[in-house]
Amino acid sequence: MWLRALVLATLAAFTAWGHPSSPPVVDTVHGKVLGKFVSLEGFAQPVAVFLGIPFAKPPLGPLRFTPPQPAEPWSFVKNATSYPPMCSQDAVAGQVLSELFTNRKENIPLKLSEDCLYLNIYTPADLTKKNRLPVMVWIHGGGLMVGAASTYDGLALAAHENVVVVTIQYRLGIWGFFSTGDEHSRGNWGHLDQLAALRWVQDNIASFGGNPGSVTIFGESAGGESVSVLVLSPLAKNLFHRAISESGVALTAVLVKKGDVKPLAEQIAIAAGCQTTTSAVMVHCLRQKTEEELLETTLKMKFFSLDLHGDPRESHPFLGTVIDGLLLPKTPEELQAERKFNTVPYMVGFNKQEFGWIIPMLMGYPLSEGKLDQKTAMSLLWKSYPLVYIAKELIPEATEKYLGGTDDPVKKKDLFLDLLADVTFSVPSVIVARHHRDAGAPTYMYEFQYRPSFSSDMKPKTVIGDHGDELFSVFGAPFLKGNGSLLSVSLELGDLGSSVGVVGFSKFLLS
Q: Catalytic one among 88, 150, 185, 221?
A: 221
Q: Does the annotation mark 467 as catalytic?
A: yes
Q: Catalytic one among 160, 354, 436, 455?
A: 354
Q: Does the annotation mark 309 as catalytic?
A: no
* Strand 118-123 to 47-54 pairing: antiparallel
CA atoms within 13 Å, Cβ hemisphere of 285: 18
The residues near 368 (Cβ < 8 Å, ≥ 6 apart) are: none
Q: What is the Cα–Cα distance from 250 to 38, expressed in whole angstroms?
A: 36
The residues near 327 (Cβ < 8 Å, ≥ 6 apart) are: 188, 191, 192, 195, 229, 233, 235, 321
Amino acid identity, position 467: H
The H or E element containing residue 253 is none
Q: What is the Cα–Cα distance from 304 to 142, expressed in whole angstroms?
A: 10
* Strand 133-139 to 32-34 pairing: unpaired
CB-CB neighbours of 111 under 10 Å: 13
Q: What is the Cα–Cα distance from 234 to 250, expressed in whole angstroms?
A: 15
Residue 403, helix vs strand vs coil = helix
242-246 β-sheet, strand order: 36-38, 47-54, 118-123, 164-168, 133-139, 210-220, 242-246, 346-351, 443-448
Amino acid identity, position 241: H
The Cα angle at residue 195 between residues 200 and 202, in degrees rounded to 5:
30
In the chain, count H helices and then E strands.
19, 16
Cβ–Cβ < 8 Å for 255, 143? yes
Q: Does the annotation mark 179 as catalytic?
A: no
**What is the set of active-site residues?**
221, 354, 467
